Chains A and B, each alone.
Chain A
Amino acid sequence: MTEPTRTRVPIKPGFFTVPDDPARPPRLLGTKCLSCGEHFYPARAVCAKCMSAQTANVEMDARGTLYSYTFVHFPLFGSMNVEHADGYGVGQIDLPEGPRVQAPLAGKQDQFRVGQTVQGELNVLREDGTQDIVIVRFRPVEVRA
């Protein structure tokens, strides 16, 4: 493995971290309500449960339980990655803190099942000059890719 010389840039800032160490997984940027304790993803200013404005930014592990999934038989919109041309998985992932996250999945359709543990990873959507535009995809942890 050669060291990556290209800069990895999130498709949109404020949703997930891009660690300098490519071996480390991204973390999700959310909100915790300081009044009632409810967690949210993505981040928001006011608690959606108790409407308190006393909230704090939190990082959450991109790891959770697959609530549901599908496999879309079209190329991933906006992707220049050939891996996405034949279709892609999409899932809803329940984080231990509470939020349900909706995100693309990594892997083949027959690798997904409701209730399994999935782990987020960064994946290149397209190249932009010297930068790689990255998204988070969740992959079943039992499966060795």
Chain B
Amino acid sequence: MRDVAVLGVGMHRFGAYYGEKPNAAMALAAGQAAFQDAGLTFKDMQAAYVGHIFASVMSGVRVMKEFGLTGLPIQRIENASATGSAAFREACLAVAGGHYDIAMVLGFDKMTSMIQSGTAGTAPENMEDAILPAAFFAMWATRRMHERGTKPEHLAKIAAKNFNNGAKNPMSQRQPSELVTPEKVLQSRMVAWPLTTMMSCPIGDGAACAIVGRADLAKKLHPDRPVVRVVASTLQSERYERGHVFQGPVVGPARMSIDSSRAVYEEAGLGPADLDLVQVHDAFVIEELEYYELLGLCKTGEAEQCIDRGDFELGGRCAVSTDGGLIARGHPGGPTGLAQIWETTLQLRGEAGARQVRRRKTGEIARTGLCHMMGGGSVCVIHILQRD
């Protein structure tokens, strides 16, 4: 397998744009930003992998025509929230397998138009369709509170952290103008007890693009920039165990994140202690709390005391959701996983501005980052990125 590197990244800021920003316009802006970042043009792209969840027929090919018509192979990939991450993985595999030297991954979605057209829950033909996603994750929180004595304050601290990280990210959907406190989070409107609006990701639109290619090209294109390699990639689906919920595929079994993280640690020859920063699928804050343990960032049952210590804040032991996460940066769908790649790439290059993560022991810029996404609770996609 050849070494694969992230050659360039670009984003269109996530936000609730409703009718004013079509998918094609956001996707074009994100793609052009990635070309510029990579020092490449669309003519250099040998393949395109498009992530779009709320898609009509051929939406990948149609939106790609905005860039030009060069005959390149185009595939649309969908895996719910993990759509962008799954598309990124396919591009990495294709480059690693020697099929292409350079491939682009483009993710876009408009969740605001989905809500407006009423397709969010479709018709409630199944009982589970009548239940909000927030409810499934709220039940995760209730169980955690029952077993571990977790308090809503712990959840509020995670939300406040992510909002305040988002304030430092120009591409973040939520950019609070003043410091967000856990008290403010607890006072926000209840969605599904114990989760409030500020403990839940917002509805939004956006686009993001990553260009991957042979690692030696990264050095040639930007000799002065650290090469950001994709050192591990996995995509796993569920394994059956007693207590599996077959209805409403939203909350995945905990086992899936444990198994997936072990697979990438083994592939990369790394462990959780080697990570400087981590992005997770924090659509609801209880998820981030559980993933601390499932990804091995702390021991089982210790998440709450780590939160109280600030272990996962910027400047903490291992910064999590450094760009604001799904909670603040936003979660349009297709581009979300690519926003994690965007953030991690900038961090490892030392270009993350006010939210730049540094290595705890040496003070040098962050070297290793992990990106974790869940799709419909039924797939887990994890990548580890590392600079030279």
Contacts and interface: CB of A to CB of B under 8 A. Distances in A.
Contact of A100 (B138, B141, B243): B243
Nearest to B242: A98
Give the interface size class of chain B.
35 or more
B142 interface: yes
**Chain A CB within 10 Å, residue with most, of B134, B138, B246:** B246
B193 A78 contact: no
B115 interface: no
B220 interface: no
Interface of A: 11-12, 15, 40-42, 44, 48-49, 67-74, 76-79, 90-92, 94, 98-104, 109, 114-115, 125, 135-136
17 contacts: A12-B126, A12-B127, A42-B246, A68-B143, A69-B139, A71-B193, A72-B131, A72-B132, A74-B132, A77-B132, A78-B130, A92-B139, A100-B244, A101-B245, A102-B247, A109-B193, A136-B127
Interface string B188-202: 011111110000000
A92 B126 CA distance: 16
Contacts of A91: 139
Contact of A94 (B129, B141, B190, B243): B243
Interface of B: 121, 123-132, 134-136, 138-143, 146, 189-195, 240, 242-248
B140 A11 contact: no
Contacts of B146: 68, 114-115
Contacts of A49: 240
A48 B240 contact: yes
A97 to B, nearest CB: 11
Contacts of A70: 135, 138-139, 141-142, 192-195
A69 B195 CA distance: 12
Contact of A68 (B121, B139, B246): B139
A137 to B, nearest CB: 9
